[in-house]
Copies of this chain bind each other. A is one copy, B any other.
């Protein structure tokens, strides 16, 4: 990263969604130095000195089934209170330029092999067009239902054979991961979908020498859990039950209203308690779609715990956050960090990126402070100047 001075592409699956649009508005505004860099991990004082791509060096592309121009999407987000209207206007022309790199995905009725080939071509073209040193592919498309197992998931050769045979064995998120790796790109899955987390795709990542990360960005309630659960553990207080309710109205909310997808998200949210506390806790969890709330999410958690001599106590918290505003900077952080890891030759799932995820790949660490220490060390390793 130190001698070469060049562009890094960020290619979004779901590039006209709220998260991607918010991320691009922010990055473009930072490039123009219009606003302070709040909410970014990659700008944390403890990461000072890590050589990351400049915002001015990022270029954006991707695909989406939606066709609304990005400048219009930005205005919608401004109306919803997600981003300031002044910023949406200030980067409007930049967003219009990105529209040309934001293509519709191939028809899903296509053979999956063709789908992958088409996406791979898109990514390669995008990289060439902008003369990027490298591209990071990030999945911010809709959450998928849990995946039924297929033997083709477990072995790359099997997978290749299945696809050639015209079998549809991969969900969209994994098709994007597959295409990313074939195009020689790092990949991150910000959703709870399977993405790169199939043995066959991990083999491909190893083969191509590419780093990846996932899954399910930790934006709100789980972020809080990742510090409160360790607090109870350190303090020797036994958690008896931890009930959670999430009200959300955004696009993700609509998807999660589908019970199947909810199951996928709830599972990834539940993992943390068991792994941090070391015992099973009654932890009912609901995700409700309340369209009225728009891009805002309100979570209520009720924790019952037991202290000295068995005395019962409770803690409750309410988190009222704007999901896209919480997710967008993490997506930019991941792109900057994975680009740097790629340049540094890192391969496979990057455990030190656990800080970003509800369901971290290759890591059982769920305590936020420990995750942060690990992230800081790793970032200096991959991006330290000599």
Verify if A302 is at the interface (C-beta below 8 Å from B).
Answer: yes
CA distance A296 to B318 in the complex (A): 18
CB <8 Å contact, A322 and B302: no
CA distance A25 to B311 in the complex (A): 13
Q: Shortest beta-carbon distance, A281 to chain B, in Å?
A: 9
Q: Assembly of this chain: how many copies?
A: 4
Q: Shortest beta-carbon distance, A131 to chain B, in Å?
A: 28
CB <8 Å contact, B310 and A321: no
Within 8 A of B (CB), among A306-359: 306-311, 313-322, 325-326, 328-329, 355
CB <8 Å contact, A322 and B311: yes
Q: Shortest beta-carbon distance, A315 to chain B, in Å?
A: 5
Q: Shortest beta-carbon distance, A108 to chain B, in Å?
A: 31
- Nearest neighbor of A328 in chain B, beta-carbon distance: B308
What 0/1 readout, one digit per residue, does chain A (219-232) give for beta carbons within 8 Å of chain B? 00001101110110
The binding surface of chain A is classed by DSSP as mixed
Of the residues B87, B231, B298, B328, contact of A224 by C-beta under 8 Å: B231
CA distance A370 to B293 in the complex (A): 32
Query: Which residues of B sit under 8 angstroms from A41, Cβ to Cβ?
Result: 234-236
Q: Would A223 and B227 be within 8 Å (CB), given that A241-B293, A316-B318, A317-B316 are in contact?
A: no
Within 8 A of B (CB), among A198-249: 223-224, 226-228, 230-231, 234-238, 240-241, 243, 245, 247
Verify if A130 is at the interface (C-beta below 8 Å from B).
Answer: no
Verify if A84 is at the interface (C-beta below 8 Å from B).
Answer: yes
CB <8 Å contact, B306 and A38: yes
CB <8 Å contact, A311 and B81: yes
CB <8 Å contact, B300 and A293: no
Q: Would A292 and B240 be within 8 Å (CB), given that A38-B309, A317-B315, A320-B313 are in contact?
A: yes
Verify if A110 is at the interface (C-beta below 8 Å from B).
Answer: no
CB <8 Å contact, A326 and B302: no
Q: Would A38 and B237 be within 8 Å (CB), given that A321-B313, A325-B309, A326-B308 are in contact?
A: yes
Query: Which residues of B sit under 8 angstroms from A25, Cβ to Cβ?
Result: 309
Query: Which residues of B sit under 8 angstroms from A101, Cβ to Cβ?
Result: none
